[in-house]
């Protein structure tokens, strides 16, 4: 381990440079820009060092087009003898810049006083990608005799569901031979993220009958029906959800109960476009729709989650004779949580203790990330998120990553590789010549 730690320290500037290079390729999603460029950049770095690199386009995946092809990179470094495969997966896409920046979002300045690098994607998650690359390079240099293989993937579209990225690779069987996966999302260097809550997005529509707004008694207002739905939600559904607590260590703590957000509401005539100076038409609304975002716990069952909503609509119907509604599923993800006894968790906890001198904290993410595809499509449970950075900074203006956090997490990643790929210096010293 000491040899490896020295290797990482000597690569501090290389880590800064690599992070800057990755962030300066503006892989904005939407629409999905420069995906091939970033894959080719990583290939150009790793291939000359003996990594077998493949650029894989997710043909036909949602979002894939000739204008914005969904490119992914998978790189593999073979060890000196057979053993396990440890795979680092990072998404290479970043979200839009947004307002409020005081730094150049793609200039990627290293503020030496703060020892931070600023830019869109530094924290979520090119800093983690860079740390995993440096960790793997330093590990291979310190321990060329390692067993098994190290893989690094840079994948598309995590920010929009991951269908052109990890989901596609999993469908192609790219995780079939993999033993352990670490996803360097920004969960902080001393935390192991075991998984995430479940998601159900649905559209609820109430239906009425159109009529002239001066004679509303001739129609049936879908908006008033929706008002009754919202009232029933306040009266019974939110109180019910707040009683549901999970044993999952979700952060922040507010997310340890079931939650429901109403993402949008719309009823009646379409909203006026900018520049339209006409007056609205006086109609009774015959349709009203809301989109709900329900996050559920590992203790809950998706069918039960859906039944709570249909039962609530039934209660509204019982009091409103003309009430009609429909529920349409939009998106669903089952909760995922890796056992603490899983080898990748044990190895990471031991490496955190060794490198940082603290006990690892175990967390679960309130929202989902690509672990869902590795779990459900790839059928691999030995998977965690572990990486540098402060989660709250993701998607924010003036996003940054701390250089020391990246260095420390690269050391932990190397410690994980040592434990899983047959390199343990203490064991070797003890069994060596006396
Ligand atoms: Zn991310």
- pTM value is 0.88
Q: How far is the CA of 321 from the centre of ligand 1 (A)?
A: 47
274 falls within a domain: no
CATH number at residue 422: 3.40.630.10
Q: How far is the CA of 125 from the centre of ligand 1 (A)?
A: 5
pLDDT in tens, 195-232: 999 999 999 999 999 999 999 999 999 999 999 999 99
pLDDT in tens, 94-108: 999 999 999 999 999
What angle do helix axes 35-46 and 12-23 make, rounded to 10 degrees?
A: 150
Domain extent for 208 = 198-269+279-333
Q: How far is the CA of 369 from the centre of ligand 1 (A)?
A: 7
Please tell me the distance from the alpha carbon of residue 195 to that of residue 255, in angstroms, as a whole number. 13
The residues whose Cβ lies within 5 A of ligand 1, an ion, are 124-125, 185
Model confidence at 422, pLDDT cuts 50, 70, 90, reads: confident
Check pLDDT > 90 for residue 417. Answer: yes
The token pair at 314 is 């039934």
Model confidence at 424, pLDDT cuts 50, 70, 90, reads: low
348 falls within a domain: yes
The dihedrals phi and psi of 288, each to the nearest 5 degrees, come to -140, 135
Between 390 and 192, where is the model more confident? 192
360 falls within a domain: yes
Domain ends where: 333, 352, 367?
333
Q: How far is the CA of 259 from the centre of ligand 1 (A)?
A: 21
Domain match, 93 and 169 both: yes
Check pLDDT > 50 for residue 434. Answer: no
The answer to which of 16-20, 179-183, 393-397 has the lowest mean pLDDT is: 393-397
Domain match, 182 and 313 both: no
67 falls within a domain: yes
Domain match, 301 and 388 both: no
Q: How far is the CA of 395 from the centre of ligand 1 (A)?
A: 9
| pLDDT, average across residues 362-371 | 95
Q: How far is the CA of 91 from the centre of ligand 1 (A)?
A: 7
Degrees to nearest 5, angle at CA 383 with 380 and 384 = 160
Domain count, the chain: 2
Do 61 and 93 meet the contact criterion of CB atoms below 8 Å apart?
no
Domain match, 181 and 103 both: yes
Domain match, 328 and 351 both: no
Residue-averaged pLDDT of the chain: 95
Domain match, 317 and 284 both: yes
Domain match, 412 and 342 both: yes
Which residues have C-beta within 8 Å of that of residue 287, sequence separation ≥ 6? Answer: 205, 206, 207, 208, 222, 267, 268
pLDDT in tens, 310-359: 999 999 999 999 999 999 999 999 999 999 999 999 999 999 999 999 99
Domain match, 230 and 325 both: yes
The number of beta carbons lying within 10 Å of the beta carbon of residue 373 is 28
Please tell me the distance from the alpha carbon of residue 189 to that of residue 110, in angstroms, as a whole number. 20
Domain match, 191 and 51 both: yes
CATH number at residue 309: 3.30.70.360
Check pLDDT > 60 for residue 430. Answer: no
At residue 118, the 3 state secondary structure works out as strand
Please tell me the distance from the alpha carbon of residue 130 to that of residue 76, in angstroms, as a whole number. 16
pLDDT in tens, 167-199: 999 999 999 999 999 999 999 999 999 999 999
Q: How far is the CA of 377 from the centre of ligand 1 (A)?
A: 19
Check pLDDT > 50 for residue 426. Answer: no
At residue 25, the 3 state secondary structure works out as coil
The reported pLDDT for the residue numbered 274 is 86
Based on C-alpha coordinates, what's the Rg of the chain?
A: 25
- Nearest Cα to Cα of residue 378 among 174, 86, 165: 174
Do 420 and 84 meet the contact criterion of CB atoms below 8 Å apart?
yes
| pLDDT, average across residues 26-52 | 98
pLDDT in tens, 231-258: 999 999 999 999 999 999 999 899 999 9
214 falls within a domain: yes
pLDDT in tens, 56-87: 999 999 999 999 999 999 999 999 999 999 99
Domain ends where: 300, 316, 333?
333
17 falls within a domain: yes
Please tell me the distance from the alpha carbon of residue 266 to that of residue 287, in angstroms, as a whole number. 8
Domain match, 169 and 243 both: no
Tokens 């390079």 sit at which residue?
Answer: 137
Do 156 and 92 meet the contact criterion of CB atoms below 8 Å apart?
yes
Check pLDDT > 90 for residue 429. Answer: no
Domain match, 110 and 148 both: yes
Q: How far is the CA of 185 from the centre of ligand 1 (A)?
A: 5
106 falls within a domain: yes
Please tell me the distance from the alpha carbon of residue 379 to that of residue 178, in angstroms, as a whole number. 10
Q: How far is the CA of 95 from the centre of ligand 1 (A)?
A: 9
Check pLDDT > 90 for residue 3. Answer: no
Q: How far is the CA of 159 from the centre of ligand 1 (A)?
A: 7
Q: How far is the CA of 93 from the centre of ligand 1 (A)?
A: 8
Q: How far is the CA of 209 from the centre of ligand 1 (A)?
A: 44
DSSP letters spanning 225-265 = HHHHHHHHIIIIIHHHHHT-B-SS-BSSGGGGB-EEEEEEE
The reported pLDDT for the residue numbered 2 is 81
Q: How far is the CA of 167 from the centre of ligand 1 (A)?
A: 15
The token pair at 330 is 């939009």
413 falls within a domain: yes
The reported pLDDT for the residue numbered 273 is 86
Q: Please name the helix (run of DSSP H) or strand (run of DSSP E) that holds residue 145, with its range, or none.
A: none
Please tell me the distance from the alpha carbon of residue 56 to that of residue 286, in angstroms, as a whole number. 47
Domain match, 155 and 202 both: no
Check pLDDT > 50 for residue 433. Answer: no
Q: How far is the CA of 196 from the centre of ligand 1 (A)?
A: 13
């Amino acid at each position: 381990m000491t040899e490896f730690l020295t290797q990482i320290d000597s690569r501090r500037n290389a880590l800064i440079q690599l992070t800057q290079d990755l962030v300066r390729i503006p892989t904005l999603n939407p629409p999905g820009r420069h995906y091939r460029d970033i894959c080719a950049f990583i290939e150009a770095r790793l291939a000359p060092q003996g990594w077998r690199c493949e650029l894989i386009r997710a043909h036909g995946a949602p979002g894939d087009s000739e204008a914005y092809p969904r490119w992914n990179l998978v790189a593999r470094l073979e060890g000196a003898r057979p053993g396990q495969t440890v795979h680092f997966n990072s998404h290479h896409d970043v979200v839009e810049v947004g307002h409020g920046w005081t730094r150049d979002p793609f200039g990627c300045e290293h503020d030496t006083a703060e020892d931070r690098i600023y830019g869109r994607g530094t924290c979520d998650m090119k800093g983690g990608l860079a740390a995993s690359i440096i960790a793997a390079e330093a590990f291979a240099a310190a321990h060329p005799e390692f067993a098994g293989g190290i893989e690094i993937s840079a994948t598309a579209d995590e920010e929009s569901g991951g269908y052109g990225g990890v989901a596609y690779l999993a469908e192609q069987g790219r995780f079939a031979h993999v033993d352990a996966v670490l996803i360097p999302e920004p969960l902080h260097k001393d935390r192991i993220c075991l998984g995430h809550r479940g998601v159900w997005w649905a559209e609820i529509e109430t239906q009425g009958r159109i009529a002239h707004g001066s004679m509303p008694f001739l129609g049936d207002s879908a908006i008033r029906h929706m008002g009754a739905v919202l009232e029933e939600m306040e009266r019974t559904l939110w109180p019910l959800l707040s009683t549901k607590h999970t044993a999952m260590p979700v952060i922040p703590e507010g997310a340890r109960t079931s939650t429901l957000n109403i993402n949008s509401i719309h009823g009646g005539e379409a909203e006026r476009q900018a520049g339209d100076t006409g007056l609205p038409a006086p109609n009774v609304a015959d349709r009203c729709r809301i989109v709900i975002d329900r996050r559920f716990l590992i203790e809950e069952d998706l069918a039960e989650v859906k039944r709570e909503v249909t039962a609530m609509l039934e209660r509204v119907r019982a009091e409103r004779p003309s009430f009609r509604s429909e529920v349409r599923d939009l998106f669903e993800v089952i909760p995922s949580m890796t056992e603490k006894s899983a080898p990748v968790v044990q190895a990471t906890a031991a490496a955190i203790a060794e490198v940082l001198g603290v006990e690892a904290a175990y967390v679960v993410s309130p929202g989902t990330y690509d672990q869902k595809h590795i779990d459900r499509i790839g059928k691999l449970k030995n998977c965690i998120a572990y990486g540098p950075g402060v989660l709250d900074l993701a998607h924010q203006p003036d996003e940054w990553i701390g250089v020391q956090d990246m260095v420390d997490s690269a050391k932990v990643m190397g410690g994980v590789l040592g434990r899983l790929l047959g390199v343990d210096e203490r064991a070797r010293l003890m069994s060596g010549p006396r």
